[in-house]
């Protein structure tokens, strides 16, 4: 969409007031009227603000994108103050209760819930793309015996670009569709191969008679039996966990997907970048930290002392707090309920009692109330994963499987957005001005330093 013209800018807001922002530059006394659209001003409209004609012009400075919208999106809505999460308008609570992951993935990618025939076609497409090239097995075999499964996933999903060179045709809608089937279909297989390698077990091929989560459990846990029998409660729990992780608007990994995708690279390479972003402990790794924290606390009776230490700044309450949610994370509420169903099958995770006590005490405490710190999605998810026999290293991998549909939806939305270009932020340069090169070992007055410098020889 083109920038509104000044006359458009002067258009009246529905309330009768003008939808513009007037800025006065006190350096020059000049005023500028900038259009407001969707409660934002365009950063490029600030460029006209200059002291001298040959100045570069005003920019915004926003490390970590604290208050900058990088795109317009129709995929996911979050209201962090009210604790609302919706995919394409549908509340997460309804999807978690009534939908399944593949249907939710269809919704996220296509924008609408599928009809019965659309769903059947979609499921068939995804499930017929679960197999990977045999060479991928050799590739996974090459990893060290104790390689982290997330490191293996990042590498193997990136390697898919070498198997599907047609994926470079990112402007071709049919090609994009095919890569999306492949990515959503193959992620569980790559994840399962990484797990089986790490425990030294033979790889299990997909069984397409099973559901998407059922097949994943089969590829992970099948031993010598002819047909793996999926526990329906665990199958449903995993499906719900995938739904809860399917998208979360412009989070760190979605931003990586868009940023790398904006170079017009193939989607496998962009997904590898997104998965790498997810690998970090501040993003997909927090639920593992919750488990370590609960182990450290050890028992319910130690909770008050632990909370006291957190309040004294001696650590964080992992699984609490969120950049966007300043209320109970709606996903955490669903997971808490799901935990009861899972524990009925697996037996209760003894750490649950410590977690419940932590939540009870924290939610009554002035420190957490004042800072609006509530449980986030990671507070209870690790407890469920552990009860389901997933090793801690697999937690971010499980997150990546669910999030793949969100990544590809964000990627396609980016590619179809006429306003988007290669992502390339500006910087505020605070380094040296021009200075002359100094030969090694020679001493010379620096152009921009007040002292004489000698270039080190070691
Ligand atoms: N425990 C104790 N105090 C906390 C916590 C916490 N978990 N989180 C924030 N605070 C405090 C901060 O110390 C700060 O206090 P101050 O105002 O006295 O300095 C205040 O609350 C505001 O915190 P910020 O760090 O400004 O919040 P920010 O939005 O930058 O951080 C984050 C959000 C990273 C999630 C943070 O709350 C945190 O580290 N939580 C623990 C890790 C975690 O659970 N991460 C998972 C997030 S969900 C996800 O990514 C899938």
| Per-residue model confidence as pLDDT tens digits over 390-419 | 999 999 999 999 999 999 999 999 999 999
Question: Tens of pLDDT along 113-169?
Answer: 999 999 999 999 999 999 999 999 999 999 999 999 999 999 999 999 999 999 999
Model pLDDT, residue 14? 58
Q: Do residues 167 and 268 lie in contact, with contact meaning Cβ atoms separated by under 8 Å?
A: yes
- Residue to mutate (ligand 1; options 241, 316, 321; most atoms within 8 A of CB): 321
Average pLDDT over residues 220-241: 96
Residue nearest to atom 10 of ligand 1 (CA): 321
Contacts 24+ apart (CB under 8 A), 167-171: 167/266, 167/267, 167/268, 168/266, 170/264, 170/266, 170/267, 170/415, 171/415
How far CA 284 is from CA of 17, 26, 276, 392, in Å, comes to: 44, 45, 10, 12
- Asked whether the predicted pLDDT for residue 5 surpasses 80, the reply is no
373 CB near ligand 1 (under 6 Å) = yes
Task: Work out the burial of residue 268: count CB atoms within 10 Å of its CB; fewer than 13 is exposed, 13-18 middle, 19 or more buried.
Answer: buried
Give the closest residue (by CA) to ligand 1 atom 28. Answer: 323
pLDDT tens profile 312-323: 999 999 999 998
Span 167-190, average pLDDT: 98
Q: Is the pLDDT of residue 281 over 70?
A: yes
pLDDT at 9: 42
8 A C-beta contact, residue 198 and residue 146: yes
Per the annotation, the verdict on 378 as an active-site residue is: yes
Length of the chain: 458
Helix (H), strand (E), coil (C) string for the chain: CCCCCHHHHCCECCCCCECEEEEEECCCCEEEEEECECCECCHHHHHHCCCCCCCCCCCCCCHHHCCCCCCCCCCEEEECCCCEEEECCEEHHHHHHHCCHHHHHHHHHHCCCCCHHHHHHHHHHHHCCCCCCHHHHHHHHCCCCCCCHHHHHHHHHHHHHHHCHHHHCCCCHHHHHHHHHHHHHHHHHHHHHHHHHHCCCCCCCCCCCCCHHHHHHHHHHCCCCCCCCCCHHHHHHHHHHHHHCCCCCCCHHHHHHHHHHCCCCCHHHHHHHHHHHHHCCCCCCHHHHHHHHHHHHCCHHHHHHHHHHHHCCCCCCCCECCCCCCCCCHHHHHHHHHHHHHHHHHCCCCHHHHHHHHHHHHHHCHHHHHCCCCECCHHHHHHHHHHCCCCHHHHHHHHHHHHHHHHHHHHHHHHHCCCCCCCCCCCCCCCCCCCCCCCCCCEEECCCCCCEEECCCC
Q: Can you tell me the mean pLDDT for 70-94?
A: 97
Q: Which two tokens stand for residue 399?
A: 């997150």
Q: Which of 129, 245, 248, 322 is catalytic?
A: 322
State residue 8's pLDDT score: 44
Report the chain's mean pLDDT, rounded to a whole number: 93
Q: How many angstroms separate the alpha carbon of residue 321 from the centre of ligand 1? A: 5
Could you tell me if the CB of 297 is within 6 A of ligand 1? no
A 10 A CB-CB count for 25 gives 13
161 CA from centroid of ligand 1 (Å): 37
Give the distance between the most distant pair of CA atoms in the chain. Answer: 80
Burial zone of 91 (CB within 10 Å; 0-12 exposed, 13-18 middle, 19+ buried): middle
- Report the pLDDT averaged over residues 63-91: 97
Active site residue 79: no
Count of Cβ atoms closer than 10 Å to residue 40 Cβ: 13
211 and 235 in contact (C-beta within 8 Å)?
yes
| Beta bridge partner(s), residue 452 | 445
- Whether 381 shows a pLDDT value over 50: the answer reads yes
Name the residue with the closest Cα to ligand 1, atom 31: 323
Task: Give the Cβ contact number of residue 332 at 10 Å.
Answer: 23
pLDDT given at position 444: 58
Per-residue pLDDT band at 283 (split at 50, 70, 90)? confident
pLDDT tens, position by position, 341-352: 999 999 988 899
> Does the beta carbon of 267 lie inside 6 Å of ligand 1?
no
* pLDDT at site 285: 82
Strand partners, 84: 79
Report percent pLDDT > 70 for the chain: 93
Model-level pTM?
0.91
- State whether the beta carbon of 247 lies less than 6 angstroms from ligand 1: no
Q: How many Å apart are CA 16 and CA 19, to the nearest integer?
A: 9
* pLDDT tens-digit series, residues 8-33: 444 455 566 889 999 999 999 999 99
């Amino acid at each position: 969409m083109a920038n509104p013209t000044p006359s458009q800018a002067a258009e009246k807001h529905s309330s009768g007031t003008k939808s513009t922002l007037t800025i006065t530059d006190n350096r020059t006394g000049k005023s500028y009227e900038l259009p407001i659209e969707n409660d934002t001003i365009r950063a490029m409209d600030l460029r006209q603000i200059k002291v001298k004609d040959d100045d570069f012009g005003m920019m915004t400075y926003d490390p970590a994108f604290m208050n900058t919208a990088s795109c317009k999106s129709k995929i996911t809505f979050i209201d962090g103050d009210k604790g609302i999460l919706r995919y394409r308008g549908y509340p997460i609570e309804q999807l978690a209760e009534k939908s399944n992951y593949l249907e939710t993935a269809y919704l996220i990618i296509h924008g609408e819930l599928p009809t019965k025939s659309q769903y059947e076609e979609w499921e068939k497409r995804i499930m017929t793309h679960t197999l990977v090239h045999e060479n991928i097995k050799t590739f996974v075999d090459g990893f060290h015996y104790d390689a982290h499964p997330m490191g293996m996933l990042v590498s193997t999903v990136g390697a898919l670009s070498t198997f599907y060179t047609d994926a470079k045709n990112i402007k071709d809608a049919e090609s994009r569709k095919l890569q999306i089937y492949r990515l959503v279909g193959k992620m569980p297989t790559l994840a399962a191969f990484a797990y089986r390698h790490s425990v030294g077990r033979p790889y299990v091929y997909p069984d397409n008679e099973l559901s998407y989560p059922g097949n994943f459990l089969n590829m992970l846990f099948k031993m010598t039996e002819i047909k793996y029998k999926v526990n329906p409660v665990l199958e449903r729990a995993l499906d719900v966990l995938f739904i809860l992780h399917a998208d979360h608007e412009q989070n760190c990994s979605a931003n990586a997907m868009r940023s790398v995708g904006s170079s017009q690279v193939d989607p496998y390479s962009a997904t590898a970048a997104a998965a790498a972003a997810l690998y970090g402990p501040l993003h997909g790794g927090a639920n593992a930290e919750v488990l370590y924290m609960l182990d450290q606390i050890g028992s319910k009776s130690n909770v008050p002392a632990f909370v006291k230490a957190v309040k004294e700044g001696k650590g964080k309450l992992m699984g609490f707090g969120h950049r966007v949610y300043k209320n109970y994370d709606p996903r955490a509420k669903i997971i808490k309920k799901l935990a009861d169903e899972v524990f009925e099958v697996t037996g209760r995770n003894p750490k649950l009692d410590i977690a419940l006590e932590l939540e009870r005490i924290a939610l009554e405490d002035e420190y957490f109330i004042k800072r609006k710190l509530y449980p986030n999605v990671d507070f209870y998810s690790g407890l469920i994963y552990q009860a389901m026999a997933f090793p801690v290293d697999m937690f971010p991998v499980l997150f990546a499987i669910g999030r793949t549909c969100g990544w590809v939806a964000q990627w396609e939305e980016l590619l179809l957005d006429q306003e988007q270009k290669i992502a390339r932020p500006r910087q505020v340069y605070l380094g040296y001005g021009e200075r002359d090169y100094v030969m090694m070992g020679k001493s010379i007055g620096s152009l921009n330093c007040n002292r004489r410098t000698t270039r080190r020889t070691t």
